[in-house]
């Protein structure tokens, strides 16, 4: 199986502090992967590097069948290549309606001129309707997204990611601040998404990771400490000592 | 004595703490345990006033505390050693220690010798910049800085995180010394089980923003407690 | 523009109707086509105000919608004025020179004419050569094209430099202010080719229409300004009503997020910056023939800040707010500074409106910023009962400070 | 005299007895030997001055003779120097003149240059073949001398006929109009230069107008002549020596001009620094854009003016004004922080607008109170004049005072920040406001005091700037953009950044002014353009520090 995202040997330091240290990582085209690790292990920095927000000091990142290098691409360009990212805090555009948020994310030409003359076709509106339905916001389309509850905002953001139709989805702590039933829903959604695309989930909550039932990568001090099934990594002595309680 | 009842806290729309009842007594180390992301740090922030609580009450020595700003909490005798140490990187070690004078009367604006007895290394580094110290040294500085404030309640958030064993041991001794002195309540958030178990008198285990169980450490079997805390 | 566009945005229809009624009323009240209730100079003031409303629209688009506080758009406005002023002054001077030379015994040669024009225009700064930048001043179409091309190009180059290196927020404001100042200082020079601090004058006299009275000219320009404002409003209302408006408001609120959605944010900013500069230049082209004179003081950084003040007082992020703000403040300003208002006796001293108007404006502006961030058009919201989403005190923009992110991790 | 008119006389009849230069020379020459050896040194010095003012060949010999007998060493040195000037001009022996020139070395004094200049003065000569005399150089047509100028030279040397001016041509054509035609061409057709030339040539051929040089003739005349720069001084060795001496001096002058430029730049940098340091504190440390900073400068200057109304002694009044200006603007700053800025933290753009509102209001209030005309803020007498190192390098005392004041401010600011409790708390709040609050430091109070401090310094800067610039209600506005530039270029967040920014902008502005001395406005334009480009390279300024404000 050829990898969709291939990260090899990347390092980055901030003011002398090595946030990522010779990290290599790869993920297949339709795979669900959880990344865990203690605070400061470099999880967020890793996402920043893949999405182009941070430029690594060394190493290579390639994406897709043709193995395009992501280095030197702008964030927007990388997003158009098909990498979507969900932030910890829900970042939806609170001043705009749910529908506008979704239309914004819908896959379409992104240049100013194209956007200026773009008008939603019936198929676009239908797609928005479907997406909204999928995340349970079908009857909220005309509401301002700022009025939604925290959980609904999370859902809206996930729907926006789906609208982008990314081939790789990076999700940062999706379950933070969710109620148990919302967590349940999120889990099943992520699992079903991963059938058609690659999904990388960064999470603290072990219960949540367990329910995802997927390969786990443990990061520590900017490098991969262990990789395998959750049971495998939780038996790993190193993992236990740095992450699970040092005892 | 510090006491909370029904304390809640929100970040924007999301509720992080769901009604915490909590007691910490002077001369005791009260330890808060639990995995990442269960609201331990948020609880300390609510106590220190860095993030306002959204409900519930806090009393100190019997007097109810209104919602107040961190500087007012500091003046009431609460000092904290936050996660990540948060020393002032561009100030020298001496200046870092001197920031604590803000809550003391002018006549007492000097660094007590006790600090250097507890943390001898700081004496050698007085004129170095805080940011140039190693993690362990920064941690000692952060604790020393908090002690100069002569707190009634001392909050420590993961003081052993990323610290070499020798310094962890030293921090342990300091905490035992402070406990023996008996003039402050020590609240310790810790994931290093052995360390916490060795020091704590009382334990609170957090799970998803609520206290899952609590009690005297001596009343729990060690293996059971560890299993409860781990995952 | 379908019917549903107006149906969805009734404010556009209302605005166009109000503008049309206003135009008809002013026409009826004018000396030229009506009953002469309004003086010609007042018609000019109204026409100028409409042009200012147009540039305020541009400012609202880039600041209110896209969140880019530029303090340089009055420079593009004035640049447009300068460039059209060059033709007005050249062509007008040409007529005078040709007339003067006609009495010289021989018909004038082209050299004599251009020599005459040059010394007429530039005698005041001590030269009699026509600078190279006046090469196209003889032709209205060329100069009109330049009046848009030059500010547009300047905005393009400056915007590219600024946005490319991701200069944002107050840094961008200061940088645009510096650009304006640089341009103003350049124009103050006598050898800038634009008559130094004398500026260009006599712009109210249209070449070829020497016999036409200013009564007529003023109402024509009033119409032109009203038409430009109406068309500008329609175009911008259409642009911001669709996905484009959605994108730029999203850029205002969280530009990093927009980038991760795949939108080239810098390109959008550059597009907006250039587009609004063009609108500003167009407004300048309409304004200065009514003002009659332009000099480098018009480019002073403070002019661009006033522009921001108008938009803020009117209400950011809605087009009619900008128009209301510009019209309200500039008309009020002309009332207060006209000296016609009676002074108020305050014990031994008289409070003169001319002297205290700016103090009042400054204080009002501080009050608006502090207490009514939505400006005058916030009143319309209250009338329509539009309540902003309750953010529990959180700001609209990107999360301020990583502190909260760390908190959320805990 | 009894008060009656002595008589009437036409003005022209009354001419004063004005000895002409020749007569004066004779008189002077006759007097010189006596005065040069007058026992009174003052009289001798006076004589030297008069010779220096009006040097003649006749005075050379008596001057030389008097040198050896001169008892006063200062006057003797003066005499030796003057003797050289006279020798290099009037000595009959070229070798002696060359020796005198060489003895001058690379002295940059103005009188040396004045003495040398006549030796290397030239005239332009047009001639068919190289003229006799000391030729400095042969001019190449089109490169060293323009065609128009060259032809004018030919005309003035009567080597070629004058060219026809367009005006003369026009007059001549008009004079020859007959029946609306000139030599058969209708007047209406004479609306191009080509047509007029054609008609004029026809008139020439008809002999009705004087012949004027055509373009071809003019070109031929130019080609058949050479153009030369000829030294007035006939001796080749003397001119060569004088040239060499002049080159040495010029090189020396260039070095000194650079030094002078450096001093100028330094004092300008000091002014920018003073104007910007307060802003560096409020903008850099607190992230607050204070557009009213310029008005605080103005308020400081007016405070100085008001103090001078009550305290007539200028030294004393300045000493009172400095702390008073600080106090007044400190209070204004604190008031502004409490009333407005406090509500706008973390909204930098709104702060910018609100403070702008305050700025226009303050400016107008000042205008209403003090009027529009410039008010004097007079410096004490001992600050008049300039410290002069030589004829090239000098700096006015007032600029030195401003420089010293800036230095003083830098030092006291550093002292305040590094050695006082307040400074410690300010730095703690800047680095981590939340942690500082946890230590019991009240960030609100610190912000208020910091803002007051920044504003207070603006007031003091106002007094300093008022001393050398005019005090108007708009003076502060002139500095605001420059000050922002200083802070942005230098790097936000620390005083060294402001210093670096001020030095760079001051130095750059002086340098551009030096390269383009005619136009200080252009210098400012270019400087701002440079800054815009500079920010491309270093968006965070020269000295980039991470701070609260750097996040924006």
DSSP string covering A38-65: -TTSSHHHHHHHHTTSS--SEEEEEETT
For D52-153, list the strands marked E by DSSP. Answer: 122-127, 135-139
- Do D278 and D178 lie in one domain? The reply is no
| A15 vs C355, more confident | C355
Quick check: is D164 in a domain?
yes
Tokens of C385: 């009962």
Beta-bridged to residue A10, according to DSSP, are A23
Q: What is the pLDDT of residue D549?
A: 30
The answer to whether the beta carbons of residues D80 and D73 sit under 8 Å apart is: no
CB contact under 8 A, A204 and B37: yes
**Which parts of chain B register pLDDT below 50?**
none
CA D463 → CA C51, D322, D405, D475, distances in Å?
A: 42, 7, 11, 12
Q: Please, what is the angle between helix C265-291 and helix C243-253, to 10°?
A: 100
The answer to whether the beta carbons of residues C173 and D481 sit under 8 Å apart is: no
pLDDT in tens, C38-53: 888 899 999 999 999 9
**Residues from chain C contacting residue A119 (CB–CB below 8 Å):** 242
CB contact under 8 A, C410 and B41: yes
Q: Does the structure show a pLDDT above 70 at C251?
A: yes
CA C1 → CA C13, D273, D300, distances in Å?
A: 12, 56, 58
**Burial tier of C10 (Cβ tally within 10 Å: 0-12, 13-18, 19+):** exposed
Tokens of D311: 């305290």
State how many domains chain D has. Answer: 3
B166 touches chain A (CB under 8 A): no
Size of interface A-B (CB pairs under 8 A): 48
Task: Give residue C1's pLDDT band: very low, low, confident or very high (50, 70, 90).
Answer: very low
B16 touches chain A (CB under 8 A): yes
CB contact under 8 A, C391 and A89: no
**Residues from chain C contacting residue D368 (CB–CB below 8 Å):** 355-356, 359
Q: Does the structure show a pLDDT above 60 at C392?
A: no
* Nearest CB to C246 within list A39, A87, A96: A96
The secondary element (H helix, E strand) that includes residue A28 is none
Mind listing the pLDDT tens digit of every residue in chain D (552 residues)? Answer: 454 555 555 444 545 556 566 666 666 666 777 777 788 888 888 888 888 887 878 788 888 888 888 888 888 888 888 888 888 888 888 888 888 888 877 777 888 888 888 888 888 888 888 887 788 888 888 788 888 888 888 888 888 877 777 778 888 888 888 887 887 888 888 888 888 888 888 888 888 887 777 777 788 888 888 888 888 888 888 888 888 888 888 888 888 888 888 888 888 899 889 888 888 888 766 778 888 999 999 999 999 999 999 988 888 999 999 999 999 999 999 999 999 988 887 777 788 888 989 998 999 999 989 988 888 888 888 888 888 887 778 888 888 888 898 898 889 888 988 889 999 998 898 888 889 999 999 999 999 999 999 999 999 999 988 887 889 988 888 788 788 888 888 877 678 888 888 998 888 888 888 887 667 777 778 888 888 888 777 777 777 654 333 332
Q: Please, what is the angle between helix C265-291 and helix C40-59, to 10°?
A: 170
- For residues C315 and B202, what is the distance between their CA atoms, to the nearest angstrom? 57
Determine what percent of chain A is predicted with pLDDT higher than 70. Answer: 92
State how far Cα B173 lies from the chain centre.
Answer: 15
Mean per-residue pLDDT for C244-254?
Answer: 91
Q: What is the pLDDT of residue D26?
A: 65
CA nearest to C210, candidates C48, C84, C99, C86: C99
- For residues A217 and A230, what is the distance between their CA atoms, to the nearest angstrom? 9
- For residues D456 and D278, what is the distance between their CA atoms, to the nearest angstrom? 8
**Domain assignments of chain A as residue spans, ordered by start:** 5-244
Q: Please, what is the angle between helix D348-370 and helix C301-314, to 10°?
A: 120
Q: What is the pLDDT of residue C401?
A: 26
**Burial tier of C157 (Cβ tally within 10 Å: 0-12, 13-18, 19+):** exposed
* Nearest CB to D191 within list C108, C170, C183: C108
Task: Label residue D430 left, alpha or beta by phi (over 0 means left) and psi (-120 to 50 means alpha).
Answer: alpha
State how far Cα C368 lies from the chain centre.
Answer: 21
pLDDT in tens, C6-18: 878 888 999 999 9
- Pick from D119, D148, D179: which residue ends a domain? D119
CB contact under 8 A, A76 and C263: yes
Q: Tell me how close the Cα of C402 comes to any Cα of chain B, in angstroms.
A: 14
Tokens of D135: 């030729």
Quick check: is D80 in a domain?
yes
* Nearest CB to C410 within list B12, B13, B40: B40
CA nearest to D226, candidates D131, D121, D120: D131
pLDDT in tens, C260-317: 899 999 999 999 999 999 999 999 999 999 999 999 988 888 888 889 989 988 888 8
Q: Tell me how close the Cα of A37 comes to any Cα of chain C, in angstroms.
A: 13
Tokens of A223: 């490098």
pLDDT in tens, C133-170: 898 988 999 999 999 999 999 999 999 988 988 888 88
Tell me how long chain D is: 552
B89 touches chain A (CB under 8 A): no
The secondary element (H helix, E strand) that includes residue C295 is none
- Do D376 and D494 lie in one domain? The reply is yes
**Residues from chain A contacting residue C247 (CB–CB below 8 Å):** 104, 115
**Burial tier of A195 (Cβ tally within 10 Å: 0-12, 13-18, 19+):** exposed
**Domain assignments of chain C as residue spans, ordered by start:** 3-409
**Residues from chain D contacting residue C312 (CB–CB below 8 Å):** 353
Q: What is the pLDDT of residue C410?
A: 25
b (16+ CB within 10 A) / e for A200-222: bbbbbbbebbbbbebbbbbbbbb
The answer to whether the beta carbons of residues D490 and D502 sit under 8 Å apart is: yes
Q: Does the structure show a pLDDT above 80 at A28?
A: yes
Q: Tell me how close the Cα of C352 comes to any Cα of chain D, in angstroms.
A: 10
Q: Tell me how close the Cα of B31 comes to any Cα of chain A, in angstroms.
A: 15
The nearest alpha carbon in chain C to A120 belongs to C243
- For residues D509 and D520, what is the distance between their CA atoms, to the nearest angstrom? 9
Q: What is the pLDDT of residue D54?
A: 79
Domain, as residue range, for D315: 252-551
What does DSSP assign to residue C346?
E
**Residues from chain A contacting residue C249 (CB–CB below 8 Å):** 93, 95-96
CB contact under 8 A, B71 and D443: yes
Beta-bridged to residue C345, according to DSSP, are C350
* Nearest CB to C407 within list B11, B13, B40: B11
Tell me how long chain A is: 247
What does DSSP assign to residue D283?
I
Q: What is the pLDDT of residue D509?
A: 85
Question: In this structure, which topology does domain A5-244 adopt according to CATH?
Answer: Rossmann fold (3.40.50)
CB contact under 8 A, C253 and A88: no
Q: What is the pLDDT of residue D59?
A: 81
Helices (H), D146-235: 147-156, 166-175, 193-205, 215-223
- For residues D409 and B52, what is the distance between their CA atoms, to the nearest angstrom? 41
CB contact under 8 A, B193 and A149: no
CB contact under 8 A, C399 and A96: no
- For residues D106 and D251, what is the distance between their CA atoms, to the nearest angstrom? 8
The nearest alpha carbon in chain C to D551 belongs to C401
- Do D262 and D400 lie in one domain? The reply is yes
What does DSSP assign to residue D414?
H
pLDDT in tens, A159-174: 898 898 899 999 887 7
Quick check: is D433 in a domain?
yes
Task: Give residue A179's pLDDT band: very low, low, confident or very high (50, 70, 90).
Answer: low
pLDDT in tens, A117-132: 888 889 999 999 999 9
- Do D286 and D435 lie in one domain? The reply is yes
* Nearest CB to C407 within list B13, B40, B45: B45
The nearest alpha carbon in chain B to A16 belongs to B132
Tell me how long chain B is: 231
Would you list which residues of chain A are within 8 Å, Cβ to Cβ, of chain B? 38-40, 89, 149-150, 153, 173, 176-178, 204-207, 234, 244-247
The nearest alpha carbon in chain C to A80 belongs to C262
Spatial CB neighbours of D448, under 8 Å, sequence gap ≥ 6: D334, D337, D338, D342
**Residues from chain D contacting residue B88 (CB–CB below 8 Å):** 427-428, 431-432, 435-436
CB contact under 8 A, C110 and D192: yes
Size of interface C-D (CB pairs under 8 A): 166
**Residues from chain C contacting residue A87 (CB–CB below 8 Å):** 257
Beta-bridged to residue A63, according to DSSP, are A5, A68
Mutate to test the interface with D, among B75, B90, B103, B147 (most CBs of D within 10 A): B90
Quick check: is D137 in a domain?
yes
| pTM of the full structure | 0.83
The answer to whether the beta carbons of residues B45 and B16 sit under 8 Å apart is: no
- For residues C4 and C2, what is the distance between their CA atoms, to the nearest angstrom? 5
Place of tokens 């001419």: D15
CB contact under 8 A, A177 and B14: yes
DSSP string covering A112-136: HHHHHH----HHHHHHHHHHHHHTT
- For residues B118 and B136, what is the distance between their CA atoms, to the nearest angstrom? 14
**Residues from chain D contacting residue C161 (CB–CB below 8 Å):** 532-533, 536
DSSP string covering D419-468: HSHHHHHHHHHHH-HHHHHHTT--HHHHHHHHHHHHHHHHHHHHHHHHHH
Subunits adjacent to chain A (3 or more Cβ pairs under 8 Å):
B, C
**Residues from chain C contacting residue B41 (CB–CB below 8 Å):** 407, 410
Beta-bridged to residue A215, according to DSSP, are A33
Q: Does the structure show a pLDDT above 70 at C403?
A: no
The answer to whether the beta carbons of residues D463 and D271 sit under 8 Å apart is: no
B217 touches chain D (CB under 8 A): no
Quick check: is D50 in a domain?
yes
Rounded-to-10 torsion of CA A194, A199, A200, A205? -50
Q: What is the pLDDT of residue B26?
A: 93
The answer to whether the beta carbons of residues D58 and D25 sit under 8 Å apart is: yes
What does DSSP assign to residue C35?
-
The answer to whether the beta carbons of residues C261 and A160 sit under 8 Å apart is: yes
Spatial CB neighbours of C392, under 8 Å, sequence gap ≥ 6: B12, B13
A104 touches chain C (CB under 8 A): yes
Q: What is the pLDDT of residue C142?
A: 95
Is the domain spanning B2-84+153-229 CATH 3.40.50.2000? The answer is no
- Do D105 and D160 lie in one domain? The reply is no
The nearest alpha carbon in chain A to B16 belongs to A177
Q: What is the mean pLDDT of chain C?
A: 85
A244 touches chain C (CB under 8 A): no
What does DSSP assign to residue A13?
E
């Amino acid at each position: 199986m050829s990898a969709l995202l291939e990260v090899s040997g990347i390092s980055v330091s901030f003011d002398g502090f090595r946030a990522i240290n010779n990290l290599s990582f790869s993920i297949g085209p339709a795979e669900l992967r959880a990344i865990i690790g203690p605070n400061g292990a470099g999880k967020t920095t890793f996402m920043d590097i893949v999405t182009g927000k941070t430029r690594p000091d060394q190493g290579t990142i390639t994406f897709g069948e043709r193995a395009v290098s992501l280095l030197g691409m702008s964030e927007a360009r990388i997003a158009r290549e098909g990498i979507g990212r969900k932030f910890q805090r829900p970042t939806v555009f609170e001043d705009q309606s749910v529908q506008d948020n979704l239309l914004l994310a819908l896959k379409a030409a992104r240049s100013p001129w194209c956007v200026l003359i773009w008008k939603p076709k019936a198929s676009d509106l239908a797609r928005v309707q479907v997406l909204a339905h999928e995340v349970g916001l079908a009857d909220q389309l005309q509401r301002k997204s700022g009025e939604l509850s925290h959980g609904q905002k999370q859902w809206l953001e996930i729907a926006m990611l789906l609208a982008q139709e990314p081939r790789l989805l990076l999700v940062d702590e999706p379950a933070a601040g969710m109620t148990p039933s919302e967590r349940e829903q999120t889990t099943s959604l992520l699992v079903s998404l991963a059938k058609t695309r690659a999904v990388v989930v960064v999470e603290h909550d072990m219960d949540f990771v367990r329910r995802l039932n997927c390969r786990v990568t443990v990061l520590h001090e900017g490098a991969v400490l262990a990789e395998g099934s959750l049971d495998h990594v939780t038996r790993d002595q190193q993992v236990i000592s740095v992450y699970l309680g040092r005892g | 004595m510090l006491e909370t009842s029904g304390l809640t806290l929100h970040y924007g729309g999301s509720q992080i703490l769901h009604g915490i009842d909590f007691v910490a007594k002077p001369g005791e180390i009260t330890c808060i345990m639990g995995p990442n992301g269960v609201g331990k740090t948020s609880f300390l922030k609510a106590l220190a006033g860095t993030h306002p609580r959204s409900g519930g009450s806090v009393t100190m020595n019997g007097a109810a505390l209104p919602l107040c700003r961190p500087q007012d909490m500091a003046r009431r005798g609460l000092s904290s050693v936050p996660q990540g140490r948060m020393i002032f990187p561009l100030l020298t070690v001496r200046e870092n220690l001197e920031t604590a004078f803000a809550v003391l009367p002018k006549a007492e604006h000097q660094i007590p010798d006790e600090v250097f007895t507890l943390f001898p290394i700081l004496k050698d580094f007085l004129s170095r910049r805080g940011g140039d110290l190693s993690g362990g040294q920064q941690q000692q500085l952060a604790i020393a800085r908090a002690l100069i404030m002569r707190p009634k309640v001392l909050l420590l958030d993961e003081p052993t995180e990323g610290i070499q064993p020798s310094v962890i041991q030293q921090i342990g001794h300091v905490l035992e010394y402070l406990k023996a002195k008996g003039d402050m309540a020590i609240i310790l958030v810790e994931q290093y089980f052995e360390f916490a178990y060795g020091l704590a008198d009382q334990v609170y285990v957090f799970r998803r923003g609520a206290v899952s169980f609590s009690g005297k450490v001596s009343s729990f079997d060690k293996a059971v407690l560890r299993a409860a805390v781990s995952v | 523009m379908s019917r549903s566009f107006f149906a969805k945005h009734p404010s556009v229809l209302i605005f166009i109707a109000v503008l049309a009624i206003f135009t008809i009323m002013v026409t009826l009240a004018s000396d030229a086509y009506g009953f002469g209730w309004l003086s010609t100079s007042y018609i000019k003031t109204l026409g100028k105000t409409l042009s200012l409303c147009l540039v305020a629209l541009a400012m609202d688009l880039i600041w209110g919608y896209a969140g880019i506080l530029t303090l340089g758009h009055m420079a593009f406005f004035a640049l447009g004025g300068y460039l059209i002023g060059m033709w007005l002054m050249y062509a007008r001077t040409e007529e005078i020179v040709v007339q003067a030379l006609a009495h010289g015994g021989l018909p004038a040669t082209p050299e004599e004419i251009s020599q005459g024009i040059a010394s007429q225009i530039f005698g005041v700064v001590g030269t009699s050569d026509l600078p190279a930048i006046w090469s196209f001043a003889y032709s209205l179409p060329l100069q009109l094209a330049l009046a848009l091309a030059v500010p547009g190009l300047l905005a393009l180059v400056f915007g590219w430099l600024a946005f490319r290196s991701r200069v944002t927020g107050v840094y961008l404001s200061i940088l645009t202010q510096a650009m304006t100042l640089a341009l103003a200082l350049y124009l103050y020079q006598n050898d800038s080719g634009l008559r130094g601090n004398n500026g260009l004058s006599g712009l109210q006299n249209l070449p070829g229409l020497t016999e036409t009275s200013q009564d007529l000219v003023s109402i024509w320009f009033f119409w032109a300004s009203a038409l430009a404002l109406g068309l500008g409003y329609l175009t911008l209302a259409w642009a911001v009503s669709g996905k484009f408006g959605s994108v730029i408001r999203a850029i205002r609120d969280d530009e990093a997020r927009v980038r991760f959605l795949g939108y080239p944010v810098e390109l959008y900013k550059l597009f907006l910056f250039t587009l609004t500069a063009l609108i500003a230049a167009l407004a300048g082209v309409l304004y200065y023939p009514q003002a009659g004179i332009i000099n480098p003081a018009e480019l002073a950084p403070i002019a661009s800040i006033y522009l921001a003040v108008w938009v803020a007082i009117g209400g950011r992020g809605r087009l009619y707010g900008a128009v209301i703000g510009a019209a309200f403040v500039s008309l009020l300003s002309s009332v207060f500074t006209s000296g016609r208002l009676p002074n108020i006796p305050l014990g031994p001293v008289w409070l003169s409106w001319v002297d205290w108007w700016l103090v009042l404006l400054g204080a009002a502006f501080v009050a608006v910023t502090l207490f009514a961030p939505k400006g005058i058009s916030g009143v319309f919201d209250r009338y329509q009962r539009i309540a902003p989403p309750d953010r529990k005190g959180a700001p609209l923009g990107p999360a301020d400070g990583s502190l909260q992110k760390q908190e959320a991790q805990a | 005299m009894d008060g009656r008119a002595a008589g009437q006389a036409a003005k022209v009849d009354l001419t004063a007895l004005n000895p002409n230069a020749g007569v004066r020379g004779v008189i002077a020459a006759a007097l010189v030997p006596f005065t040069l050896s007058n026992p009174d040194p003052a009289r001798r010095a006076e004589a030297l001055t008069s010779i220096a003012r009006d040097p003649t060949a006749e005075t050379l010999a008596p001057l030389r003779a008097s040198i050896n007998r001169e008892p006063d060493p200062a006057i003797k040195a003066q005499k030796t120097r003057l003797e050289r000037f006279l020798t290099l001009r009037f000595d009959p022996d070229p070798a002696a003149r060359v020796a005198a020139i060489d003895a001058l070395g690379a002295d940059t004094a103005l009188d040396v240059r004045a003495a040398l200049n006549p030796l290397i003065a030239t005239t332009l000569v047009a001639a068919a073949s190289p003229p006799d005399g000391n030729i400095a150089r042969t001019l190449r047509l089109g490169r060293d001398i323009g065609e128009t100028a060259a032809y004018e030279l030919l005309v003035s040397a009567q080597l070629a006929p004058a060219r026809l001016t367009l005006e003369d041509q026009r007059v001549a054509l008009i004079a020859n109009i007959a029946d609306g035609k000139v030599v058969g061409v209708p007047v209406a057709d004479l609306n191009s230069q080509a047509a007029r030339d054609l008609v004029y040539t026809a008139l020439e051929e008809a002999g009705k107008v004087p012949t004027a040089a055509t373009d071809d003739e003019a070109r031929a005349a130019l080609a058949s002549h050479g153009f030369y720069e000829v030294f007035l001084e006939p001796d080749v060795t003397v001119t060569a020596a004088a040239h060499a001496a002049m080159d040495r001096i010029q090189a020396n002058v260039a070095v000194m001009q650079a030094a002078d430029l450096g001093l100028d730049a330094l004092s300008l940098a000091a002014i920018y620094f003073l104007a910007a340091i307060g802003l560096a504190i409020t903008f850099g440390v607190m992230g607050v854009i204070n557009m009213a900073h310029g008005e605080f400068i103005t308020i400081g200057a007016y405070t100085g003016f008001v103090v001078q109304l009550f305290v007539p002694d200028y030294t004393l009044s300045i000493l009172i004004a400095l702390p008073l200006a600080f106090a007044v603007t400190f209070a204004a700053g604190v008031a502004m922080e409490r009333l407005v800025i406090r509500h706008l933290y973390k909204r930098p753009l709104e702060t910018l607008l609100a403070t702008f509102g305050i700025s226009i209001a303050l400016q107008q209030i000042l205008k209403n109170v003090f009027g529009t005309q410039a008010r004097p803020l007079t410096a004490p007498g001992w600050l008049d004049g300039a410290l002069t190192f030589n004829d090239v390098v000098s700096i006015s005392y007032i600029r030195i005072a401003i420089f010293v004041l800036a230095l003083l401010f830098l030092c006291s600011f550093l002292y305040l920040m590094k050695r006082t409790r307040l400074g410690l708390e300010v730095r703690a709040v800047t680095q981590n406001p939340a942690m500082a609050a946890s230590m019991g430091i009240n960030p609100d109070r610190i912000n208020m005091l910091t803002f007051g401090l920044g504003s207070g310094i603006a007031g003091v800067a106002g007094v300093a700037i008022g001393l050398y610039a005019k005090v108007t209600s708009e003076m502060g506005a002139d500095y605001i953009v420059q000050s922002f530039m200083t802070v942005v270029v230098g790097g936000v967040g620390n005083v060294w950044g402001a210093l670096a920014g001020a030095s760079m902008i001051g130095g750059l502005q002086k340098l551009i002014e030096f390269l383009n001395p005619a136009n200080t406005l252009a210098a400012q334009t270019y400087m701002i353009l440079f800054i815009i480009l500079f920010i491309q390279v270093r968006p965070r300024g020269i000295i980039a520090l991470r701070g609260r404000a750097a996040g924006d």
